[in-house]
Structure 1
Amino acid sequence: MRTLFSGEVHVAYGQIYVCSDDIPSLEDSFAGQRAGLCGGAVPGRLFLLTGTHTGSVPITVEQHPTEPPLDADLWEDIVEVSFRPVSNRVQLVEWDSGWYPLHLSETSYRVRYHCRGMDKARNAAGDVGGPAVEEYLLRFWPSPPAPDRVVKETSQAAAYWHEFARKQPPGPTPEERAEAERQAREEEHTELQQEMDAWGGRLPSDRLRDVQGKLRGFQGCPKGLVGLDAALVHAIDAASPEEQRALARWAAHRACVTAGLDKIDWVARGLAELDRGEPYSPPLDDPRRLRDAAFSDARVPHSDDGTPGMPQVAAFAALFDAAAPDPLKAALDALLAAAVTHDTVCPHLFAEVRRTFPATAIAPEAERSDRQ
C-alpha cells in the first residue's frame, strides 16, 4: 500500500476533485450513477463531495495492489466507482487553489470513497488546525470497470447526494463519446485546413493572427496582401521589427512616387519626417486637414469627378500606415497600399521588395498541423 496524500485540503461548495485533465461539472460527473458522493461518470475525473461547505477537511488517498479490506464499521458512508486516468498527470485538486500530485498510472482502477462526520460538518466552516469534524479516505486499486455502487449509507448528506445522482440522466456511452471526440477532431482539422488555405497553404503565426483583424482593406482587394502574395506576407512576418519598419517606410515612398505625390512639398516633408521617426507636421498630422489639402492642392492628381484618384488615396493611406506603432502592421498595410497604387497588378513591386529586403526573399518553411 502507498499513501499518495494525507493532510487537510481546502474545499468550497463542498467539492474536491481528482483530475487527469480538466475539472468536471457536477451534473456530468454523476450522470447515470446510483451512488452520490463520488462522481466518476466522466473519464479521467472524480468529483468528491464533503459535508463542509467551505473550509478545510482531512483526507487520505491510498493506492493498493489489490482490493483492500472494506472497514465498513469504521466509516459512516462508503461508495465505489471506477476510474481510469486519461493522462499521467493525476492530481487531487482543491476548488479554487491548490493541487497535489497523486502519481497514478494510466490503468483502470476501482475507487472506494469513505466518509465520516458529514452530517456534523454539513454547511459548517472548517478551520485549519481545528478539531476534525469529518474525515475522508480515498482508496485506489487495479480493477476492470464496473458499475458504481453504494456500499454503506448512514448520513442524511449521503442520502441527499445519492438521490441527486439517481435523478441525473445517463451520460454518453463510450462509443458516443468516442464518436463526439472524432467529430471534434475532424472539425478542428477542417478549420485548420481552411485557415491554411486562407493564408496561402500554411498556418499564420500568432503575430499574424493578432494583427489580422486590424489590417487595412481596399475595395477590389478583399483578401488583402495575402491574396496577392501570401509567401511574402509570411516572410515579412518572420523579419525583424527593424526590417519591418524599414519596409513600411520604403513602401510609403514607393506609393507616393507611383501616385505622383513625392514632389509636393508637404508630402516630401512628411516622407522625411517618417524616415526620421518624427510626428507628421500639418496637414498630415490630422485626417481632416489632409483631406482638405488633398482636395484643394491642384498638384494632387484628381479624377474626373474632382476627387483624388485611387492611387493618390492609397498613397496617403501608405503614409499613415507606415507610421503605425506596430511594425508588422505598418509593413503589411503600407505595402498593400503601395500595391493598390499599382492597381494591384504588381509582381514587379513584390520582386523589388525581395531584392531590397533580402530577409523577405525566402518564405519560412510551412508549418502544417499533424492533427488528423
Structure 2
Amino acid sequence: MQTLFRGEKHVGYNQFHLGTGTEPVEGWTMDDCFAGQRNGLCGAAERGQLFLITGLHTGNVPVTVELHETAPPVPDAPDVVEVSFPITRGPVGLFSGFVDDHADLGLPPGFYRVRYCADGMDAARAMDCRIDDASALDDYLLQFWPAPAEPDRVVRTGSEIARHWHDNAAGLPSPTRTPSQRADDRARDPEHARQRAIELNLRRAGQRAPGPLGSIEFAYTLALVDDDLADHLTSLPPDRQRGLALRTAHRTIAGTGLDRVAWIGDVLPRLGQAPLPGVFLDESTALAALAATPKVPCTVVTSPDERRAPTLAQAMALPALAAVTHPDATVALLETVHHALAAAGEEGYRDVLADLRFASADPA
C-alpha cells in the first residue's frame, strides 16, 4: 500500500475534486457527474473527474489517498461508496473546492476501482464552516486499486446527509449522451482548444502553410514531429493511404496487446472490409468497454507532445480502429497515425515514423 496524499484540503459548497491535468476541467455540472449513479457522494460519470461531497460546507478537511495492489478491507467508516475510474492520461491531481490549490498524486494511468469513505459528515454539516483553530469533525479516505469497471455501489450509509445525497443522485435522469458527445458540445473543452492552438501556432510560424492539411483535426500531431513525412503521406493516392492506415492500426493494436483482447481481436481480420461494431464508434463507449474487460493490458508511456504526461497506451490505441474507417482516406491515415503516435509515446513514436517511411517509400 502507498499513501499518495495525507493532509488537509479546502472544501467549498461541500465539495472538492480529483481529476486529470493540473487544473480542474470546466464545462460539466454536478448533475453530469452523478447522473446514472446509485451513490451521491463520489461522482464519476464524467471521464477523468471525481466529484467528492463532504459534510462540511466551507473550510479544511483531513483527506487521505491510498493506492493498493488489490481491494483492501472495507474501513470501519459510517459512509462508504465505490466507483470505477479509468485514468487515460496524467497527471492526476487533488483539487480544493473553489480555491487554487492542486496536489499531484503521482497516480499512474490505468483502470481503477475507487472507494470513498467518510466519517463525521453530520457533525461537520452542523458546524457548516470550520474557521480559525476549530477541530476537524469529518475526515475522508480515497482508496484506489486496479480492477475492471463495474457499476458504482453504496457499501454503507450511516449519516443523514449522505442519505440525502444518495436520494438526490437516484432522482437524476440517466444520461442520454456519452461523455464524448457531451464534450463535442462544449466549445470551451481545454484539450480541443489546445489542439486548435497548436495547429494555429504552427501555421503562424510558417511551419505549415494553410491548405488541406491544416483543416484535418489531428494533422498537427504528425506535422509536429515530421513535417516532411506529413506532406509525403498526404500526397499519396487514396488506396495507398488506406493500406497505410490499416497497417498502422494493426501495428498499434498488436503493439499494445489489444489484439489479445477477444472482442477487439475478433474485428481485426475484417478491419476496413466490414462495418465496425457500434462499441468502437464512440471513444467513451469503447473506453468503457475496455475498462470493464478483466485482465486488460495496461502500459504507461510518456506522451510525445509538449506536456510529456504519463499516458495509458491502450486507451490511446483503441480509437485507431474507428479512425481507419473514416470515409476520407487522407483523414483516415492521419487520424490513425495520431493515435499510433500517442500509443507509442515518447519511448516508441520514432519507430512508428520509421515504419511509415519504409512502408510509404516509392518502390526502387
Report the TM-score, using the length of structure 1 for normalisation: 0.49
Q: Which entry has the higher C-alpha Rg, 1 or 2?
A: 1
Report the TM-score, using the length of structure 2 for normalisation: 0.50
